[in-house]
Chains A and B, each alone.
Chain A
């Protein structure tokens, strides 16, 4: 067993024992290492000012450097990682990196507070695509996790467009050497456990068995994967407030859980697999899900957050959940006693309440790839298209024959204490002709009448009902348009 977190920062080895292991990455960088280029604005992963690149290996992929929000990632999660910060981007001789030059010359920076985050996010893109100029749409997609209040973004996009591939220098290639990677991998093979009097305990098991044993022994510990939700709760003093003791167990080093497979029409997603990995894996098999994931969260969040985190969190909005409900997904719960698959719509028994035993760990999600006769569509409506929590989310899965619905799964989020299937509406849809506008319209009205959402800061009950009905109408309209096309 190890008792220190081992990581590299800008090519240098750091071993964190005791107290330091409990910090967020941004605090560690800013206050322990004087690397103050990494800024903190929101402390909730919503603005990207703290973006750094984190390189790590997955069980099913080579080393990959991706943008990460340093404000919500805990040092524990970074065991075995290589972190690159803004301070490492300029050339050793002091000259600017091509991305930095372009940002300067195109007035991509005004007050400068968001700038390091933008540079890091942009660098992340070019590290993966060094040989071609940035496509405007692609780079915009890559920058959805970064907020700027000064520039109106256009100069930043101009800067990205001005980056000349022939002048790009890879920061990863300069700092992430073969021996470094070997040393890092070797020194983080063993499981990690750190306990500090008064601060609590951190565990990073490396096998599923060890995870299950830890869970059985510590039913009150919090299991975390990407920490994108827990990190926010910690920062906002809602979980483990200042002065309290914590126990976190991370899944990120359990190789058995870090996979996404598409095999014989079934997609299986391990609990440690990131949303980014899922997005890449679904691109061709379930493109609608990949499309949802594109607006679901920023690249920074998707690089760390997991699908299982979303499932276990049990949010009543839970952006991926309506989709999983409509796809008829199942979730695997394991304990030392054994494993069982739970249909996802039976998993939630109340507001953020899950029907699992204290010793159980959610380990895998699986669902079938929609077949040729099926239509699967996921909608997420929010005030801001990108990086916003849904006002209402709705997903539809239909099978049809000769223009008539033969089977339907309809799931909504944001309209009740949990994400829910709507069996009455599903029954009404069965046998309905896709072209029967009036019937769909009537079902949409019934759907709205059947819901009793709450008003909250994202919107009123009224608007949620209207939107819920309209999403069914929109879906029907799109189906008809496809048929006529």
Chain B
């Protein structure tokens, strides 16, 4: 496989202002006269009846203006899939952190004081706080989903070896640095302009409208940028935008709702915890014969996106491996914790964690190198390349990615040295693991796979582009600008992607599912291509005229006939490059792009356009669990080597090698940044990020002092990232591949490497618990259990 050579690529379009602290986030907006601070009052109980809400004391505080409750909401149910969640709890609270009242005050101090002064009385009800409790109580959200291939019972029964087990997977907090925030401005005639830190402005617009009893035309949602999103601002940002809007609407004053990190972590949902029960049959080589898996997720109190997340977990239960027979069943548990939600990878990481753990366990039981078991199972042409849901794999690179990384990272020699190190019985234990990712690109809900874009070319030849994509650091705007610039042959700095707003782009999809560039750059491409075509005709016409008869000299006087530019036509001999348009056949005929735009304007040629794109050829029947839901797959492999301190359970990631197929990256630097960032985030989920709740459903680890995302010192000591050259993903915009989520799943190689290290101490018949994350405490307890069983030392 050829590796793309690292090269300089354009910086993020906001990098220049980011590094100067000049980039504007929600709470950086200057307060306008009369602006109010909105505070939330939320439930301290996981499940309770609201007996009464008494705002008297709060309203008595100087500078407190109003207290609002569910009675002030016009239509109180919302949800991205099922409308089952109150915007403000009315009769019952269903999780700790559910909002029961809002306070509006002139100052932050008064707002903080008022939040604590609203007296809410509750009658506490019994709560369901875990997946097993929900299963016992048959408390579920949505209906059971299944994906089936063949007769899995027969396949497992006939297999030479069988195992069963449970995989326990904890949630993960998004820990975007900018907590939820919104500011709403009342506009003429009851309109609301709400600025939100949201991945989904259209949904904010809709929810604000229906919560306030307005129509879509009354609400504009503006998203300049987010200080990180990672899925956490896909659905749940709408709540906070609504709270600001409610106050703005009721009091006809601007209102700011900025949540603290502690409240944000307590109130909002996380990556769904999963509990997966499986049976698996395999042969003596470790080849899978059948997999029967029942996936249970903790959806929290309301549906949010959990059913779609479950669907993606089921669709990724194969990961890179062929399942000859499978039964994958998914159920979302309804509990009394915050409604869990999208998080980079959606359900994917959970399905993949399961299958990678199973393969690791199989390898141990057969005394084989886990890499050999993985390679035995990897999808391959011609007859092991159809997924369990029936989608054939085209452009399949997985076998090659395994082989290539195996040799590039010197896997076999390092395996031998790890074995040798562990045999010496020093104070440390090492583990090595090479895993893969095959991530399906597209929303599994077909109608979300559409995008629109507005492209405005100005008379100086600079371009403003607006799309529904929201910028959260991933660089989608930079990539869109590059794609547009490439078509017009101008510098990417001559293209600016503008603030996202629902008045420019309608009915947009969330910037999620790694689809931001795919959908929006393609829609922009659609628009700019038409503009380029018209300009090619203008150029042909203008270049044929002597200088003094061009529109720029004559249009004011009207002495020349207007250039004729028929719609839908293009002059293919006009080339746009290096800021000019020129005739391919006579390159002395050339005009600067800006001058050309001026001539086009004077010739009354349309310099703006609207583009639309929908992903073709995808379908998935959610009731039968069959179809081809994905446009293509982003693929990659990772090899991680770790070291554990046998005394303390402390973990070091010694070396990580990543090899990814991202098609033809539009921006190498940004893509590599996504790969590194996602990997480290995935690694955090697998190791140090531990969500701890008390027995009343309150999240205790609700700030960085107790919730530990990786720090600079936790990154791999030796970290190598390579992208392969692949020019075959032609169906996607510019032949690129989506990158946002897939590398996160490679972080699981750190988890399997920890298990690999611990397996070095365990006899062949011993199976390690499959629990994620492997925190220091879990590693320590596992080491101790192995020691007490006389297995270690």
Enumerate chain A interface residues (CB-CB to B < 8 A): 30-31, 34-39, 41-44, 46-47, 49, 85-87, 89-90, 96, 99-100, 103-105, 107-116, 119, 140-141, 143-144, 146-157, 232, 236-237, 241-243, 379, 381-389, 391, 457-460, 462-463, 466-467, 470-471, 473-474, 477
Contacts and interface: CB of A to CB of B under 8 A. Distances in A.
Contact of B262 (A37, A96, A236, A386): A236
Interface string B661-692: 00000000110110011111100000010101
B473 to A, nearest CB: 3
Contacts of A458: 706
Contacts of A473: 647
B514 to A, nearest CB: 15
The interface size bin for chain B is 35 or more
Contacts of B713: 140-141, 144, 385-386
A460 B777 contact: yes
B715 A152 contact: yes
A383 B648 contact: no
30 contacts: A30-B27, A30-B28, A31-B31, A36-B21, A36-B28, A41-B177, A86-B21, A107-B672, A107-B673, A110-B677, A111-B228, A112-B17, A115-B21, A140-B712, A141-B713, A148-B712, A149-B176, A152-B715, A232-B705, A236-B262, A237-B112, A241-B112, A243-B109, A243-B110, A383-B688, A389-B706, A463-B780, A466-B781, A467-B648, A471-B647
Contact of A112 (B23, B174, B679, B776): B23
Interface in B30-80: 30-31, 61
Nearest to A27: B108
Nearest to A392: B648
B16 A154 contact: no
A111 B176 CA distance: 9
Contacts of A34: 30
Interface in B403-417: none
A459 B377 CA distance: 38
B703 interface: yes
B674 to A, nearest CB: 8
A217 to B, nearest CB: 28
B700 to A, nearest CB: 4
A381 B648 contact: yes
A149 B709 contact: yes
B18 A43 contact: no
Nearest to A475: B647
Contacts of B777: 383, 391, 459-460, 463
B731 interface: no
Contacts of A108: 19
A108 B14 CA distance: 12
B230 A149 contact: yes
B137 interface: no
Given A89-B20, A90-B20, A471 B648 contact: yes
Would you list the 9 A-B pairs with minimal beta carbon distance, nearest first? A37-B21, A111-B473, A113-B227, A110-B473, A112-B18, A152-B680, A86-B21, A152-B676, A242-B112
B749 interface: no
A112 B712 contact: no
A104 B719 contact: no
A42 B261 contact: yes
Given A36-B28, A96-B20, A147 B711 contact: yes
Contacts of A232: 705
Interface of B: 8, 11-12, 14-25, 27-28, 30-31, 61, 108-110, 112-113, 116, 174-179, 225-230, 260-262, 427, 472-475, 645, 647-650, 669-670, 672-673, 676-681, 688, 690, 692, 700-701, 703-706, 708-715, 719, 775-777, 780-781, 784
A115 B780 CA distance: 35
A480 B708 CA distance: 34
A470 B781 CA distance: 12
Contacts of B176: 111, 113, 149
Contacts of A386: 711-714
B9 to A, nearest CB: 8
Residue among A30, A86, A143, A242 facing the most chain B CB atoms (10 A cut-off): A242
Given A149-B176, A151-B677, A242-B109, A42 B705 contact: yes
Contacts of A242: 109-110, 112-113, 116
Contacts of B780: 463, 466-467, 470
A287 to B, nearest CB: 20
Contact of A103 (B19, B647, B692): B19
A42 B704 contact: yes
B177 A39 contact: yes
Contacts of B709: 147, 149
B172 to A, nearest CB: 11
A151 B673 contact: yes
Contacts of B12: 104, 107, 109-110
A43 B260 contact: yes
A383 B421 CA distance: 24
A108 B676 CA distance: 11
B61 A49 contact: no
A49 B703 contact: no
Residue among A38, A41, A470 facing the most chain B CB atoms (10 A cut-off): A41
A96 B16 contact: yes
B583 to A, nearest CB: 37
A111 to B, nearest CB: 3
Given A46-B704, A104-B19, A110-B473, A154 B715 contact: yes
A112 B708 contact: no
Residue among A46, A89, A146 facing the most chain B CB atoms (10 A cut-off): A46
B22 to A, nearest CB: 7
Contacts of B229: 111
Contacts of A151: 673, 676-677
Contacts of A460: 777
Given A236-B262, A381-B648, A383-B775, A112 B681 contact: no
Contacts of A143: 712
Nearest to B743: A152
Contacts of A96: 16, 19-20
Contact of A381 (B228, B473, B692, B776): B776
Contacts of A90: 20
A140 B690 CA distance: 24
Contacts of A381: 648-650, 776
B708 A384 contact: yes
B61 to A, nearest CB: 7
Contacts of A388: 708
Contacts of B648: 379, 381, 467, 470-471, 474
B677 A152 contact: yes
Contacts of B679: 152
A109 B18 contact: yes
A384 B678 CA distance: 19
B665 to A, nearest CB: 13
A441 B725 CA distance: 56
Contact of A47 (B113, B177, B673): B177
B712 A41 contact: no
Given A41-B177, A107-B672, 12 more contacts: A37-B20, A47-B704, A87-B20, A103-B15, A104-B16, A105-B11, A111-B227, A152-B715, A154-B676, A242-B109, A381-B776, A385-B713
B776 A391 contact: yes
A357 B669 CA distance: 61
Nearest to B785: A466
Given A46-B705, A49-B177, A107-B673, A241 B690 contact: no
Nearest to B715: A153
A154 B674 CA distance: 11
Given A152-B676, A155-B676, A115 B474 contact: no
Contacts of A243: 61, 109-110, 112-113
A453 B681 CA distance: 32
A112 B227 contact: yes
A25 to B, nearest CB: 15
Residue among A154, A232, A386, A391 facing the most chain B CB atoms (10 A cut-off): A154
Contacts of A241: 112-113, 116
